[in-house]
A and B are shown apart, each in its own frame.
Chain A
Amino acid sequence: MKSIVIVGGGVAGTITANYLAMRLKDEIRSGDVKVTLISDREKQLYEPGLLYLIFNRFEEEDILRDVKYLLDPQVELKIVRATRIDAESSKIDLEDGSKVEYDYLVIATGSRVVPEDVPGLVESGHWFYNLEGARRLREGLAKFRKGKILVSVMGIPHKCPVAPIEVTFLLHDFYKIHGVRKNVEILYTYPINKVFTMNNVSELVEEMFRERNIGYKTFFNPLEVDAERRVVVTLEGEEEPFDLLIAIPPHKGSQVIIDSGLGDRDGWVPTDRYTLKAEGYDNIYVVGDATNLPVSKAGSVAHFEAEVVAENIAAEVKGLPPTARYFGKAMCFIETGFDQATYIWFDYETPPKPVKPNKFIHWMKIAYNRMYWLTARGIL
């Protein structure tokens, strides 16, 4: 019997597991293949929903689902943390003391925010990149009426490259609707010399920031937050005061990757950009945020990668040639307000071309927020 093990029950893990269950249904039924998913959380969080939760447009029940109900019943689910992956002997240690062996491993352990890596940030800043942070920010934004909001990207890569831009546009609309926009200053900062990594998106966004009287600073790399004086101190020697700080904290790969010696300095797994195999291992694949690839850490990327990985593992199990290749495909909606959005498609060789923001794309995104659970199940 061949054992396929997936570690991580986020977007990447559940989609890969469900695609494998579809492609290998006969082999699973006959007992020749077993697919196991290991998740340290019972519920999956639809992270893009956090952007709406902070403005109280989504509630927690809208963005959380039991992993159990997202998975094809042919997949065995273990709710437990993987503590170590021994890639040499193809075994995984679990926190409950047991071990699982694999013939094929799919690493789908994602990424996490590490606000504690910026001194002073935990004490004096906000973020919306996880549920705890988003709950706290929802309170913060509802109370805020006057002063300066600093939206500061504190490291690259981070999940969903466009979310900091989206939150900035939504803040503008939120305080406009509340009639206090003139009392609220909004400043966006980004580590490199433009407001986004891709040129034509930067140009569009910079122009839209200017139209909305949203300030921005580039080459801005925060070193620490001085909680008492309420200023962000940068590596470039600047000090930027704030009344409310919304940080996009630095990100790292999962602890298990670091503890197993499978990652680079920040815990990203070196991955072949086309086959998605972990470099140096023929039976380990990496999907979603866990890779070190120069692609967005986005749910759409996880989805497109999962298709390739599931197709190739299924082919190998069936003795067919594993010829699927990932080509860097990514898609992101960009909300530019509460009633308009644009979107970008791109891959390793094709840069994105954002279209003029409009209502239709906004409603597509709103509809997709509800339909996402079909994607997780492998249907859409």
Chain B
Amino acid sequence: MVVVDARGSYCPGPLMEMIKTIKQVEVGETIEVLSSDESSAKDIPEWVKKAGHELVEVKKEDDYWRIVVKKLK
């Protein structure tokens, strides 16, 4: 699992960091994005759906969100 810790970064930082990472990893790999920006919890799943990857989990931790994505293609 690749972790993208984008806490402290604001829209569109976490989404763009995730997009850069997904370009680099192998198909089948999972990426965990940590974001303190609330809009990531909506924007990232929306992008994942459009781009045809799998949204494994969206979870609110204390003061950040954990979004797990699996690269499908």
Taking beta carbons and an 8 Å cutoff, which residues of A are in contact with B? 155-157, 191-193, 197, 219, 221, 223, 235-237, 265, 294
A157 to B23, CA, bound (A): 17
- Give, as a whole number of angstroms, the nearest-CB distance from B70 to chain A: 15
- 28 pairs, A vs B, C-beta closer than 8 Å: A156-B16, A157-B16, A191-B12, A191-B16, A191-B19, A192-B11, A192-B12, A192-B15, A192-B16, A192-B43, A192-B47, A193-B43, A193-B46, A193-B47, A219-B46, A219-B47, A219-B50, A219-B51, A221-B19, A223-B23, A235-B19, A235-B23, A236-B52, A237-B51, A237-B52, A237-B73, A294-B10, A294-B13
- A residues less than 8 Å from B13 (CB atoms): 294
A236 to B16, CA, bound (A): 13
- Give, as a whole number of angstroms, the nearest-CB distance from B16 to chain A: 5
Sample of 16 further A-B pairs with CB below 8 A, known A219-B47, A235-B22, A235-B23? A156-B16, A157-B16, A191-B12, A191-B19, A192-B15, A193-B47, A197-B11, A197-B12, A219-B50, A219-B51, A221-B19, A235-B19, A235-B51, A236-B50, A236-B51, A237-B73
A219 to B22, CA, bound (A): 14
- A residues less than 8 Å from B52 (CB atoms): 236-237
**A-contacting residues, B1-21, CB 8 Å:** 9-13, 15-16, 19-20
A294 to B43, CA, bound (A): 17
A176 to B1, CA, bound (A): 52
Considering only CB atoms, which chain A residue lies closest to B42 in the complex?
A: A193
| Total contacting residues, chain B, CB less than 8 A | 18
- Give, as a whole number of angstroms, the nearest-CB distance from B22 to chain A: 7
Binary flags per residue of B33-68, CB closer than 8 Å to A gives 1, else 0: 000000000010011001110000000000000000
- A residues less than 8 Å from B10 (CB atoms): 294
- B residues less than 8 Å from A294 (CB atoms): 9-10, 13
- Give, as a whole number of angstroms, the nearest-CB distance from A218 to chain B: 9
- B residues less than 8 Å from A219 (CB atoms): 46-47, 50-51
Taking beta carbons and an 8 Å cutoff, which residues of B are in contact with A? 9-13, 15-16, 19-20, 22-23, 43, 46-47, 50-52, 73
A221 to B47, CA, bound (A): 11
In the A-B complex, list the 3 residue pairs whose CB atoms are closest, starting with the nearest.
Answer: A294-B10, A192-B12, A236-B51
A193 to B43, CA, bound (A): 7
- Give, as a whole number of angstroms, the nearest-CB distance from B51 to chain A: 5
Considering only CB atoms, which chain A residue lies closest to B52 in the complex?
A: A237
A336 to B47, CA, bound (A): 29
A155 to B16, CA, bound (A): 8
- A residues less than 8 Å from B11 (CB atoms): 192, 197
A236 to B52, CA, bound (A): 7
- B residues less than 8 Å from A236 (CB atoms): 50-52
Considering only CB atoms, which chain B residue lies closest to A237 in the complex?
A: B52
- B residues less than 8 Å from A265 (CB atoms): 20
- Give, as a whole number of angstroms, the nearest-CB distance from A134 to chain B: 25
- A residues less than 8 Å from B73 (CB atoms): 237
- B residues less than 8 Å from A197 (CB atoms): 11-12
Considering only CB atoms, which chain A residue lies closest to B16 in the complex?
A: A156
Considering only CB atoms, which chain B residue lies closest to A219 in the complex?
A: B50
A20 to B3, CA, bound (A): 42
A192 to B47, CA, bound (A): 8
- B residues less than 8 Å from A237 (CB atoms): 51-52, 73
- Give, as a whole number of angstroms, the nearest-CB distance from B10 to chain A: 4
- B residues less than 8 Å from A192 (CB atoms): 11-12, 15-16, 43, 47
A191 to B50, CA, bound (A): 12
Considering only CB atoms, which chain A residue lies closest to B11 in the complex?
A: A197
- Give, as a whole number of angstroms, the nearest-CB distance from A344 to chain B: 16
- B residues less than 8 Å from A157 (CB atoms): 16
A294 to B23, CA, bound (A): 22
A191 to B11, CA, bound (A): 12
A294 to B11, CA, bound (A): 9
A379 to B15, CA, bound (A): 40
Considering only CB atoms, which chain A residue lies closest to B47 in the complex?
A: A219
A294 to B35, CA, bound (A): 14
- A residues less than 8 Å from B51 (CB atoms): 219, 235-237
